[in-house]
């Protein structure tokens, strides 16, 4: 008997993560070489598992994985049976983010799945900051952001800013100012897309409590990274 995935329901506090089913030659390709396509996909799965642990530490939220590709429902149901699932909708990343943040929650936060050591306190703080701000952003060191949250839909903020560029954060802040939106910034963090960032991650994990990023830690040890 097939079971339907847990479906997201409207909630005052909605925490979503954008994720892809790991696949060789399609996941974390900027790490190849030195990693092989299969190894990069395996590493990303461990990132995903640690991201889900981060989400579970944030209290009083509806947790949802927003996934691609369309046929990945079974994979994510097995990976996270305690988490709601919904497919990504939209032709561009901006459209997909706008759809997520316009899904009925009075307070919605979307995070990435590439920051396995991100402190859960930062994510919880995002919801607190939305008590007084219209938009909250978690700045990344590469010029993007690891998290965005809104109190109400802001389609221009997401659809009119080109994504995946080194100026995403700056452009988003400029448009928010033009729109008269109150913006709160979280502490800076980083996502892992490049070999340099992977090296930084490995160095950071070596100095963290062993209970943090346990899946990624085990994978890096296996790789002897």
Other CB atoms within 10 A of residue 9 CB: 11
pTM of the full structure? 0.91
The whole-chain average pLDDT of the chain stands at: 92
Q: Which pLDDT belongs to residue 112?
A: 95
Q: Which pLDDT belongs to residue 225?
A: 87
Q: Which pLDDT belongs to residue 34?
A: 96
Q: Which pLDDT belongs to residue 46?
A: 98
Q: Which pLDDT belongs to residue 98?
A: 82
Rounded to a whole number of angstroms, the distance between the first and last alpha carbons of the chain is 42
Higher pLDDT, 120 or 90: 120
Higher pLDDT, 167 or 153: 167
pLDDT per residue as tens digits for the range 56-86: 999 999 999 999 999 999 999 999 999 999 9
State the chain's maximal CA–CA distance in angstroms.
Answer: 53
> Cis before residue 33, ω within 30 degrees of 0?
yes
Give start and end residues of each alpha helix (H) in the chain: 37-56, 73-79, 93-100, 120-129, 155-159, 168-178, 195-206, 214-223
Q: Which pLDDT belongs to residue 10?
A: 46
From 8-12, 91-95, 97-101, 166-170, the region with the lowest mean pLDDT? 8-12
Q: Cα separation of 22 and 85, whole Å?
A: 16
Confidence of residue 152 (pLDDT cuts 50, 70, 90): confident
**Percent of the residues in the chain that have a pLDDT greater than 90, as a whole number:** 77
Antiparallel, parallel or unpaired: β 14-20 and 62-68? parallel
Kindly tell me if the per-residue pLDDT of 11 is higher than 70: no
Q: Which pLDDT belongs to residue 86?
A: 92
Q: Which pLDDT belongs to residue 12?
A: 74
Cβ-Cβ contacts under 8 Å for 206 (sequence gap 6 or more): none
Cα angle 128, 189, 180; round to 5: 50
């Amino acid at each position: 008997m097939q079971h339907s995935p847990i479906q997201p329901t409207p909630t005052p506090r909605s925490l979503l993560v954008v994720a892809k089913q790991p696949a060789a030659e399609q996941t974390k390709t900027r790490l190849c070489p030195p990693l092989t396509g299969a190894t990069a996909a395996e590493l990303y799965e461990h990132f995903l598992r640690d991201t889900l642990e981060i989400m579970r530490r944030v209290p009083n939220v509806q947790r949802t994985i927003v996934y691609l590709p369309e046929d990945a429902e079974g994979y994510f149901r097995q990976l996270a049976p305690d988490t709601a699932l919904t497919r990504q909708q939209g032709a561009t990343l901006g459209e997909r983010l706008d759809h997520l943040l316009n899904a009925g929650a009075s307070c919605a936060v979307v995070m990435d799945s590439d920051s396995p050591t991100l402190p859960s306190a930062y994510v919880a703080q995002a919801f607190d900051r939305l008590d007084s701000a219209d938009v909250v952003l978690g700045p990344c060191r590469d010029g993007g952001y690891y998290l965005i949250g809104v109190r109400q839909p802001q389609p221009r903020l997401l659809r009119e800013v080109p994504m995946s560029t080194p100026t995403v954060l700056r452009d988003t802040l400029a448009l928010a100012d033009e729109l008269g939106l109150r913006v709160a910034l979280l502490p800076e963090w980083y996502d892992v897309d490049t070999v340099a960032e992977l090296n930084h991650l490995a160095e950071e994990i070596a100095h963290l409590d062993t209970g943090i990023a346990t899946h990624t830690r085990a994978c890096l040890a296996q790789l002897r990274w």
